[in-house]
Amino acid sequence: MILVTGGAGFIGANFILDFLAATDEPVLNLDKLTYAGNPHNLDALQGDSRYTLVRGDINDRSLVRQLLSGRRPRAVVHFAAESHVDRSIHGPGEFVQTNMVGTFSLLEETRAWWSALPAGEKDAFRFLHVSTDEVYGSLGPNDPAFSETTPYAPNSPYSASKAGSDHLVRAYHHTYGLPTVTTNCSNNYGPYQFPEKLIPLMIHNALAGKPLPVYGDGSNVRDWLYVGDHCAAIREVLARGRIGETYNIGGGAEMKNIDVVHTLCALLDAARPRAEGGYASLVTFVTDRPGHDRRYAIDASKIRAEIGWVPRESFGSGLAKTVRWYLDHADWVEDVASGAYRTWVEQNYAARGAA
């Protein structure tokens, strides 16, 4: 069996669903169930004996110790993280506590347990750490894409906390021999994404007839990766990745934010037209956030060459699937759009005003 941390979040839940669709190996999901951790993301697994959810914090070392010794996983797949840049600007402490201290706690307990394993189990074990391209900083318009050897240059409390966790994972391999692998992914999108991130926020607001807030001039560029492709890549890295290595995972789909929003509007215009006119009329430019990275791009040649992974979805096909999923799951969106979420959106965007 494998232990997944943060498996009720957006990427973690998609990974568990993907993993159990591809294998019969049991999954133990340890999740704190904060605002972004939604157990309903995994309702499809109700009654499935292969899946177990334990509510808990990776900083609860006694709980982690108990799960490791009691369940004896062959791998830990570590998703648990605070992951929203804007939230990290408003409250960086939680990001340091979860992303850095939490990863340290998990590494310490895993190392202690792993060190005492019999030789065969010890050799087979893997600790896979899921991270982000944001640790590399910002690219200029003509700079080469991020590779695994790009120097770290994080520009937000979020990316700095993830960079710190990456360094801890690397250190635990080189110092203690813990068999780790790290993945750094580009911007994910797809089903079950909490509606604070760009794509689900735009869909949610558009359908409600609310403004579509775009930072600055909308020309910030991201490399977009469909979450199903990301999950398949993680599964392959877990199976065949080299110990101590890092693998960049990208969708090969660089897009300006404003172009993403206009593409979304066109898809919504076709699927659910507004009586008042096209959704693009709702686009509103707002004051940019501090330290907003201008461009991210991923060079995924290493994972392609070593493991043979390539994304199956283009940005167009992945976005169309995503829009259709949100249209078909309005009940899920309404369920997660709680008072806490509305308070957050108000706090983050209302004070910015028009750009």
Catalytic residues: 133-134, 158
CB 134 within 8 A of CB 159: yes
3-class SS of residue 294: coil
Report in angstroms the alpha-carbon separations of 328 from 106, 219, 324, 333.
37, 30, 6, 10
CA terminus-to-terminus distance, the chain: 51
Neighbours of 281 (CB within 10 A): 12
Residue 43 has a CB neighbour count (10 Å cut-off) of 10
Which regions of the chain does DSSP assign to beta strands (E)? 2-5, 27-31, 51-55, 75-78, 126-132, 180-185, 187-189, 212-215, 221-226, 246-249, 254-256, 283-286
Report angle CA 213, 215, 217 to the nearest 5 degrees.
115
CA distance 183 to 203: 28
Per the CB < 8 A criterion, the answer to whether 229 and 223 are in contact is no
Q: Which of 262, 121, 98, 123 is nearest to 179 (CA)?
A: 123
∠284-288-294 over CA atoms, to 5°? 110
